[in-house]
Structure 1
Amino acid sequence: MTDRSTSKPGVSRRTMLLGSAAAAAVAGGGGYLLGRSESPPVQESAAAPSPAAAKYRSRPDLNGLPDVTITTPGRGTAPGHVFLTPFAGALRGPLIVDEKGSPVWFRKVPDPATVAIDFKAQRYRGKPVLTWWEGTIGGTGGQGVGQGEFVVVDQAYREITRIRAAGTEQADQHDLLITAEGTALFWVYDPVPYDLTSLGGPADGVLHDGVLQEIDIATGRLILEWRARDHVGLDESYAPLPQGASAHLPYDYLHPNSVSLDADGHLLFSARHTWGLYKVHRRTGAVLWRIGGKRSDLRVDERSAFSWQHDFQRRRDGGYSIFDNGAGITTERDYSRGLIFSVDEKARTVTFVAEHVHPQRLSAPTQGNFRELADGGTFIGWGQQPHFTEHDADGTVRLAGHLPRDNQSYRAYKAEWAGVARDQPALGLRVEGDSVIASASWNGHTGVARWRARAGGRPGALSTAVEAERAGFETELTLAGVPEYVVVDALDETGQVIGSSSAIPVRV
């Protein structure tokens, strides 16, 4: 492993993101209220259904959000929200939903990025943050290689920084780990000239080298860099060489897709195309052991055998887990699974512990993740299949949901998150007969328990009020009569006003 003490300039997404992409990916106002407003007498609002044509009247810009369906309602689930990155449709970006599938927060990826990937909650400098990758995906032999950068935002969804690869290359999308030291670990797919004649390829071929970088987030300084071709042989790969007219495309022999830390601080990563899991010395870069593939250093029992896998993680009980796709360029297993196994480094053995399977025994040839939850349960994103599940420790499904069939999320996570939006609540109005329906929402604010709508003849004299419990992303309140102006207030669990919309005139 190379120790770097000098800073290399980052590469801006805005100037470089689209420059070398091989293919495109698949497809309220400002201000907020402090304190409590004068509260007129309230009555409970009756629910009023919206016409199907307008999913969110308060935020029509979000009407294209894909529906998230919960098929197994959560019972005894771990607290938290679900984190997704829809790939398809007009609205692609990081999406948080609750256990009913209702949106909590969404942000569309800006141009020139085409998708967001690997959206999750982490900690940076001791504080909760959200991170995701945004960029464009290029095709290499049918496998996705990303060119982009990672975004870090705080609890108010304000951008703290963007994490960019050192040098001229751009960060790959597969994983980002923020360490306790304030550094970021992630992969770069670096195309380098390479003689591939030993494998039957061209002498002037191109190899996609897997480059693991560690960057100091605050300064962008490159701290460590590890190059796979110095440690992992091309003969370990199960991926075929590009052929014919594609022979000079980069050979993606490794396809690393995760990075994490073992309990002793050394590096763990998964390489899909070698069917290998690797433990790497964090200082020297030496491969301490391989699990799986053609050169496994440890003996793997039959039930622990895996292929085309993702997301290699150490568990709190000392075991390890992966998302075992079981399918990819070839099909080795008729269903994918979350796999847990133990490692005995002294005996050099890998022993099966448990597997978690989707009730439909889904097979996901690409993508996916498998993560331990704080209560001992697990959460699985089924990758190419648009599903996610939460499991008890014994594998029983306690929550299941999915995106539409024509969509997918590279990974899916569950985590607790407290967001405090800094814009105003949004308000949409429509007149139905002798009533006004107020539609209220506040994208990303997790502290709203109830909504109150106030109405009257002018903004400073709103004497009529109704209240309703928050009912998903958007809540509707019915006001009798047709007033001149309406305002909605967001209330917390104690009834305090935590934000108010602008006064909106009612147009008949």
Structure 2
Amino acid sequence: MTDRSVSQSGVSRRTVLLGSATAAVVAGGAGFLLGRAGREDEPPRTAAPAAPPAKYRSRPDLDGLPDVTITTPADNVAPGYVFLTPFAGETLRGPLIVDAKGSPVWFKKVPDPATVAIDFKVQRYRNKPVLTWWEGTIGGTGGQGVGQGEFVIVDESYREIARIRAAGTEQADQHDLVLTPAGTALFWVYDPVPFDLSAKGGPADGVLHDGVLQEIDVATGRKVFEWRAREHVTLDESYAPLPQGEAAHLPYDYLHPNSVSLDHDGHLLFSARHTWAVYKVHRKTGAVIWRIGGKKSDLRVDQRSTFSWQHDFQRRRDGSYSIFDNGAGITTERDYSRGLIFQVDEQARTVTFVAEHVHPQRLSAPTQGNFRELPDGGTFIGWGEKPHFTEHRPDGTVRFAGHLPEGNQSYRAYKADWIGVAHDQPALGLRVEGGNVLASASWNGHTMVTKWRARSGAQPGVLQGAVEAARSGFETTLTIPGTPEYVVVEALDDAGQVLGSSSAIPIRI
């Protein structure tokens, strides 16, 4: 019997199809329309409550992805996408790219046993653009996050190139990863070491979290450089209180390093949240060239340039420096957080205020956050614990802004150009509505799609009817007149060339 024949239940496949309006179940680029053919001699049954429709019918596995709301539409902004790492409650966690409308471009769920992704950004490895992020678990004392995990590098097709692990027994901390032109990776390790804390009022048999900066050759995993903070930064620089009571023997996080970068002269720059200071370290000897801020600043800092509990210390193209000044953490030192820019005169040993960029709501972010220069001279800020991001003109005014749902967080937020070419098939979800078939198409991560085409027919190899629609966000829905037997969707570029197609999916019961 053919598909058009009456089944043994006495109900034809087509009869059920025309009366059905169920959602698609999709996996690996295939979609299915689900229905149920009841026997005519069966007693009537109470219908189960209808499940809510999937957010993305072509990808129901992404139902838990949080919405990104754009509050200030893009206005003469720098090109590129926004890179986030949402995490909160039952929200899907993983690296997320969204466009200027807040629509997802690419998402990857963090695999078990990792619990969160952190610091998702575009970098270059072997002179090619790549995506990097950290995944693992986060613990710590005093509410300060300390990571146990590893970094991931994927190429433009989202294929994994490498996983970067710390040398030795410890795991990589989440706060930052820098890929260097030499093919190495710089990142932090929080190494718990036995330490006499009695001088600070703690136990003589205490434990210290030593901030260890490692440089690892990505290709081989070989350690090529290591710098230990306790050999250069003393405990009396710290503003962090010692663990007390039953927690007295937990590691004392006196430094809490949270960024690393390269200065124009090749030396190392890093931020230490718990000393309220940023440091320049000699690339070969490890000697501290200077520290700015905190209790032992080597340079005189003007009042407007003072900062506390900060993140993300960077050198800018014009020679100035920037940080994300949280202004709050274990204590509150400032009513609002800000992106701070200052000038350093190493000869005069002075630090001079240049500018600050503030959220229109004057947000205070006690944890996380970043502040980055954009190619056109603007800046991009991720507000950390506050789930907001803003793009600022060179004069500091906001030209683009958005946020994740309240209660969510993204450790950092970046904006960058990215061309992604997904290596899998487009996904297709099908449903019947009003006597027509609605085909929902998406292709997670492929950035060259500008239009979708749906073809349909009675056999997989004979699909003639064609309907086209401009891409409209992560998922585009096309209406196919009538109820064909098979549907396939094709992703098209600007020139109308086919970039990829789904499998030919039968409309099943």
**1:408 lines up with 2:409 in the alignment:** yes
Find the counterpart in structure 1 of residue 137 from structure 2.
136
1:389 to 1:52, Cα distance in 2 relative to 1, 3 A? farther
Kindly state the Cα deviation for residue 90 of structure 1 after the two structures are TM-superposed.
3.8
Matches within 5 A, 1:102-181: 102-181=103-182
Conserved? CA contact 2:170–2:191, under 8 Å: yes
Q: Which residue of 2 aligns with 1:254?
A: 255
The aligned residue for residue 435 of structure 2 is: 434
Structure 1 counterpart of 2:330: 329
CA distance in 1, matches of 2:234, 2:183: 32
C-alpha deviation, 1:298, in angstroms = 0.3
SS of equivalent residue, structure 2 residue 202: coil
Partner of 2:207: 206
Match of 2:79 in 1: 79
Q: Distance in 1 between matches of 2:141 and 2:98?
A: 32
Q: Say if 2:137 and 2:148, in contact at 8 Å, map to a contact too.
A: yes
Q: Which residue is 2:8 aligned to? A: none
**Given that residues 340 and 357 in structure 2 are in contact (C-alpha distance below 8 angstroms), is that contact kept between their aligned partners in structure 1?**
yes
Which digits, 9 at most, give the CA deviation of each residue in 1:277-329, with x for residues without a partner? Answer: 00000100000000000000000000001000000000000000000000000
How far has the Cα of 1:142 moved from its partner?
1.2
Partners of 2:101 and 2:412 in 1: CA distance:
19
1:359 aligns with 2:360: yes
SS of the equivalent of 2:230 reads helix
Report the residue type matching 2:261 in the other structure: S
Q: Find the counterpart in structure 2 of residue 21 from structure 1.
A: none
Q: How much has 1:52 moved relative to structure 2?
A: 6.6
Which amino acid letter does the alignment assign opposite residue 399 of structure 2?
A: R
Report the 3-state secondary structure (helix = DSSP H, G, I; strand = E; otherwise coil) of the residue aligned with 2:331.
coil
Distance 2:84 2:428 in 1: 26
**8 Å Cα contact 2:436-2:481 kept in structure 1:** yes
Residue by residue, what CA displacement relative to the aligned partner does 1:200-221 show, whole Å, maximum 9, x if unpaired? 0000000000000000111111
Q: Which residue of 1 aligns with 2:34?
A: none
Measure, in 2, the Cα distance between the counterparts of 1:496 and 1:103. 23
2:380: which partner in 1? 379
- Give CA deviations for 1:246-295 in whole Å, capped at 9, x if unaligned: 00000000000000000000000000000000000010000000000000
Aligned twin of 1:59? 59
**Per-residue displacement from partner, 1:10-49 (whole Å, max 9, x unpaired)?**
xxxxxxxxxxxxxxxxxx5379xxxxxxxxxxxxxxxxxx
Moved more, 138-147 or 191-200: 138-147
- Contact conserved, 2:138 with 2:145, CA < 8 A, in 1? yes
| Cα pair 2:97 2:105 within 8 Å, conserved | yes
SS in 1 for 2:490: strand
The answer for the alignment partner of 2:446 in structure 1 is: 445
- Residue 144 of structure 1, CA deviation: 0.3
Q: Could you give the per-residue CA deviations for residues 90-140 of structure 1, whole angstroms, max 9, x where no partner exists?
A: 410000000100000000011110000000000000001000000000121
| Aligned pairs (5 A) from 1:27-106 | 28-29=27-28, 53-88=53-88, 89-106=90-107
Q: Structure 2 counterpart of 1:393, which letter? A: P
- How far did 1:73 drift? 0.2
Instruction: Give the Å deviation of 1:416.
Output: 0.3
Instruction: Return the offset for 1:336.
Output: 0.1
Instruction: Tell me the distance in 2 between the aligned counterparts of 1:497 and 1:160.
Output: 27
Q: In structure 1, what is the Cα distance between the partners aligned to 2:221 and 2:462?
A: 53
TM-score for both structures, normalised by structure 2: 0.90
Residue 227 of structure 2 corresponds to which residue in structure 1?
Answer: 226
Match of 1:502 in 2: 503
Following TM superposition, by how much is the alpha carbon of 1:80 offset from its aligned partner in structure 2, in angstroms? 0.2
Structure 2 distance, partners of 1:507, 1:431, is: 11
Instruction: Tell me the SS of whatever aligns to 1:143.
Output: coil
Instruction: Return the alpha-carbon distance in structure 1 between the equivalents of residues 52 and 423 of structure 2.
Output: 30
Find the residue that maps to 1:358 and give its secondary structure: coil
Q: Name the CA distance, whole Å, in 2 between partners of 1:250 and 1:150.
A: 23
The answer as to whether partners of 2:66 and 2:91 remain within 8 angstroms in 1 is no
Instruction: Work out the CA distance in 1 between the residues paired with 2:148 and 2:309.
Output: 22
Paired amino acid for 1:121: V
For residues 145-175 of structure 1, the C-alpha deviation after alignment (integer angstroms, 9 at most, x for no partner) is 0000000000000000100000000000000
Distance 1:498 1:118 in 2: 30
CA offset digits 1:223-247 (Å, max 9, x no partner)? 0100000000000000000000100
3-state SS in 2 of match to 1:242: coil
Structure 1 residue identity aligned to 2:28: G
Share of identical aligned residues, percent? 82
By how many angstroms is 1:433 displaced?
1.5
Greater alpha carbon shift after TM alignment, 85-94 vs 270-279? 85-94
Q: What's the counterpart of residue 13 of structure 1?
A: none
1:366 Cα offset (Å)? 0.2
Q: What's the secondary structure of 1:278's corresponding residue?
A: strand
Counterparts of 2:52 and 2:403 in 1: how far apart (Å)? 21
Matches of 2:28 and 2:312, distance apart in 1: 40
**TM-score normalised according to structure 1 size:** 0.90
Cα distance change, pair 358–90 in 1 and its aligned pair in 2 (3 A):
closer
Question: For 1:386-428, what per-residue CA distance to the aligned partner results, in whole angstroms no more than 9, with x for missing partners?
Answer: 0000000000101000000010100000000000001000000
Shift of 1:507: 3.2
Counterpart secondary structure, 1:61: helix
Runs (5+) with no aligned partner, structure 2:
1-26, 31-50
1:54 Cα deviation from its structure 2 partner: 1.6
Q: Check whether the contact 2:29–2:502 (CA below 8 A) recurs between aligned residues.
A: no
Deviation at 1:505, TM superposition (A): 1.0
What residue is the counterpart of 1:483 in the other structure? 484
Q: Which whole-Å CA distance do the structure 2 matches of 1:158 and 1:30 have between them?
A: 17
Is structure 2 residue 283 aligned with structure 1 residue 274?
A: no
**Cα separation, 1, equivalents of 2:386 and 2:158:** 29
SS at match of 1:140: coil
1:295/1:327 Cα in 2 relative to 1: closer, same or farther (>3 Å)? same
Q: Residues of 2 paired with 1:392 and 1:52: CA distance?
A: 42
- 3-state SS, counterpart of residue 61 of structure 2: helix
Report deviation, 1:87: 1.2
One-letter amino acid of the structure 2 residue matched with residue 188 of structure 1: V
CA offsets 1:456-488 (integer angstroms, 9 cap, x no match): 111111111110000000000001101111000
Q: Deviations over 1:355-412 (max 9, x none)?
A: 0000000000000000000000000000000000000000010100000001010000
Q: Is the 8 A contact 2:177 2:187 kept in 1?
A: yes
> What code does the residue aligned with 2:78 have?
A
Question: Larger C-alpha radius of gyration, 1 or 2?
Answer: 2
Amino acid at match of 1:493: D
Divergent runs of 4+, >4 A: none
